[in-house]
Amino acid sequence: MIWLTWRQLRASAVAVYALVAALCVAFLVTARPSEPVLDGLQDLLYNQGTISAVYLLPALIGVFWGAPMVARELEAGTHRLVWNQSVTRSRWLATKLAVAGLAAAAAAGLYSLVVTWWTAPGEGKGLTMALNSTGRITPFLFSVRGLVPVGYAVFALVLGVVIGVLLRRTVAAMAAALAIYIAVQILMPLFVRPHLIPPVQQTVAITAENTVSVGFTGPEATQVTSIKVREPEGAWILTDETVDATGAKVDSLAAGLGNCPPPSPGVNMMDCYAKAASDHGYRQLLEYQPAGRFWALQTLETAIFLALSGLLTWLCFRLVRHRVS
């Protein structure tokens, strides 16, 4: 049964492992241990492309490994031949999931390890600045490093298998698996990950020293709409907004800061705006996940995806035992 499973999987497995090997070689060739990883637009494009492959890898596994694994056999009717050879349904499905699951976890784990090693020298330097990211805990880098790519790959694989069992049509299952996996990847950092651990809330005074930017609007750029203060290094900022003395969010600061002259080249207006904001009782509310929680969040998110994979596996066995004929 293991030999048959490998025969069915080997073409897509070889393709995925060849892609992973090629990307790993590219990382090894371009590694600069003592320098930032990026030093220009070409490096930026290269970096975004290679790191984005970590996002694509689980999706490819779910679409090309998971979705056809059972759907193709149900569509062609070949599953009946195997079941008539003294192979039980449970053994048939368990072997398929075990072989493909281990291969998926190994591919994702290897690539994540290489990406983590390759991006480490540029952390906080050219890499994170060029990607508009301040640290590895921020969404873009968090999802391509550490443990979570393994959880994503296993989840995508089992998701594809379950959808294949339900739809029994290979192409339809591939499309549905891709759509659902993308939706999960969008929803996770937006609504789930920020609250896996209660974020830190901090209200800080607005001073000239910690004010980093002021936003304006209006025909002469005189209406102040936002103030940004210096954020904790490497943190994932969830909220950075101005509040009044009661703690209510302030949408427009124009009335309180109207005495400051319009900004002009070569003039630092931070002192004036920061003092005016402080005089009117404005403070800055920061809500964030500190950089030190990276591994805790990694562990929790990986556990969630592995638990979801376990539930999908249970559902898959029930469907095969009771609904597939």
pLDDT band at 106 (very low <50, low <70, confident <90, very high): very high
| Average pLDDT estimate for 228-255 | 85
pLDDT value for 225? 76
The 3-class secondary structure across the chain, one letter per residue, is CHHHHHHHHHHHHHHHHHHHHHHHHHHHHHCCCCCCCCCCHHHHHHHHHHHHHHHHHHHHHHHHHHHHHHHHHHHHCCHHHHHCCCCCHHHHHHHHHHHHHHHHHHHHHHHHHHHHHHHHHHCCCHHHHHCCCCCCCCHHHHCCCCCHHHHHHHHHHHHHHHHHHHHCCHHHHHHHHHHHHHHHHHHHHHHHHHHCCCCEEEEEECCCCCEEEEEEECCCCCEEEEEEECCCCCCEEEEEEEECCCCCECCCCCCCCCCCCCCCCCCCCHHHHHHHHHHCCCEEEEEEECHHHHHHHHHHHHHHHHHHHHHHHHHHHHHHHHCCC
pLDDT at 138 exceeding the cut of 50: yes
Q: CA 74 to CA 90: how far, in whole Å?
A: 15
Q: What's the pLDDT tens digit per position in 283-297?
A: 999 999 999 999 999
What is the predicted pLDDT for the residue at 166? 94
* pLDDT for the residue 292: 94
14/36 Cα distance (integer angstroms): 33
Q: What pLDDT, on a 0 to 100 scale, did the predictor assign at position 201?
A: 95
Of 199 and 249, the one with more pLDDT: 199
What's the whole-number mean pLDDT along residues 157-164?
Answer: 97
CA dihedral for 263, 264, 270, 275, sign (positive or negative) = negative
93 pLDDT above the threshold of 70: yes
Give the pLDDT confidence score for residue 319 in this predicted structure: 92
pLDDT digits (tens, 9 = 90+) for 142-156: 998 899 999 999 999
What local confidence, expressed as pLDDT, does residue 193 receive? 97
Instruction: Decide if pLDDT at 37 tops 50.
Output: no
Check pLDDT > 80 for residue 79: no
Tell me the per-residue pLDDT of 7-17, one tens digit each, with 9 for 90 and over.
778 888 898 89
pLDDT digit string (tens) for 204-240? Answer: 999 888 888 887 776 655 677 788 899 898 899 999 9
pLDDT at 150: 96
pLDDT at 53: 76
What percent of the chain has a predicted confidence (pLDDT) above 90? 43
